[in-house]
Amino acid sequence: MQDGDTPHAVAPAHGLERMAFFSDAVFAIAITLLVIEIHVPHVAAPYTDQAFLQGLAKLLPNFIGFFVSFFAIGLFWIGHHRAFACARHWSPKLFGPNLLLLSAIAAMPFFTAFASEYYGHRVPAAFYCGWMVLISIFNILVQRILTAPPVVDEHIPAEQPRLIRLRGLAALLGSLTAFVTSLFVPPLGQVMLITIPLWRLLLVRIIPAR
Q: What is the mean pLDDT of the chain?
A: 92
pLDDT tops 50 at residue 180: yes
pLDDT digits (tens, 9 = 90+) for 10-48: 455 688 999 999 999 999 999 999 999 899 998 988 889
Supply the pLDDT for residue 12.
59
* CATH architecture of structural domain 3-206: Up-down Bundle (1.20)
> Of 2-11, 131-140, 151-160, 178-187, which range is least confident?
2-11
How far is 184 from 126, CA to CA, in rounded Å?
10
pLDDT tops 90 at residue 5: no
Question: 3-class secondary structure for the chain?
Answer: CCHHHHHHHHHHHHHHHHHHHHHHHHHHHHHHHHHHCCCCCCCCCCCCHHHHHHHHHHCHHHHHHHHHHHHHHHHHHHHHHHHHHCECCCCHHHHHHHHHHHHHHHCHHHHHHHHHHCCCCHHHHHHHHHHHHHHHHHHHHHHHHHCCCCCECCCCCCHHHHHHHHHHHHHHHHHHHHHHHHHHCHHHCHHHHHHHHHHHHHHHHHCCCC
